[in-house]
Structure 1
Amino acid sequence: MAKRLCRKLHSRFRDECLACKLTGNLPQTRAVIESQRVDYNEHRAHSVLGNLTPKEFASSGQASPAR
């Protein structure tokens, strides 16, 4: 199951970040990737976390996501 989730994350990352915002240099590419990481972890709600962002979930004190 972990492999499947990892593949899904990589696929989304490719689709949403790299494919849309190809750059010509490494520093700009790193900035785009960091922006995507922050959005994914701090602003985007995840259904497996009860529609909370990972940041909100971590601060909620819950031990594990609801299944």
Structure 2
Amino acid sequence: MAKTLIYIGIFFIIAGAAWMGLDQLGLSRFLGHLPGDIHFTRGNTSFYFPIVTCIVISVVLSIILNFFSRH
């Protein structure tokens, strides 16, 4: 269990560093605002569901995890 927690922590550190790197390059503004993401606003209520962003992240993570699980 301890190793799993360490790996999860390392993953979050790497993800945070990547997010900061994307911010520096100006690329993070596209993540979460892709065509197909659902956004409704009526009055004081707003609903946002980044469905396409979720699919893109899922595909990228599947490719990465598939690569590491085969080696």
TM-score bracket, normalised by the shorter chain, equals 0.3 to 0.5
The structure having more radius of gyration, on CA atoms, is 2
TM-score (norm 1): 0.39
TM-score (norm 2): 0.38
* Structure with greater strand percent: 2
* Structure with greater helix percent: 1
